[in-house]
Amino acid sequence: MLIFRLVVGLLLFAGVACFALYIGTGQPAWRHRGLIIIKWTVLAGLAFFAALILERLALLL
């Protein structure tokens, strides 16, 4: 759990850093990279929490 939180935190930081570089340089490539990083971080988080919920449901049944 700690490793997951660390990885998600670092990925979110990387996404924000990409957006900051986009604002600083004005190059659309940084915005595109930031959107990709944030998108996949959110999807990975949703999949992780779905797995946790399914695990708890399996224990209840």
pLDDT tens per residue, range 4-61: 889 989 999 999 999 999 999 999 999 999 999 999 999 999 999 999 999 999 998 8
| Integer Cα distance of 33 and 53 in angstroms | 30
Please give the pLDDT value at position 26: 96
H/E stretch holding 31 = helix 28-60
Of the pLDDT bands very low, low, confident and very high (cuts 50, 70, 90), residue 1 is confident
Count of C-beta atoms within a 10 Å radius of residue 34: 19
| Integer Cα distance of 61 and 42 in angstroms | 29
Q: Is the pLDDT of residue 2 over 80?
A: yes
Please give the pLDDT value at position 5: 85
Domains of the chain, by residue range, sit at 2-60
- Distance (Å) of CA 49 to CA 17, 42, 43, 46, 52: 25, 11, 10, 5, 5
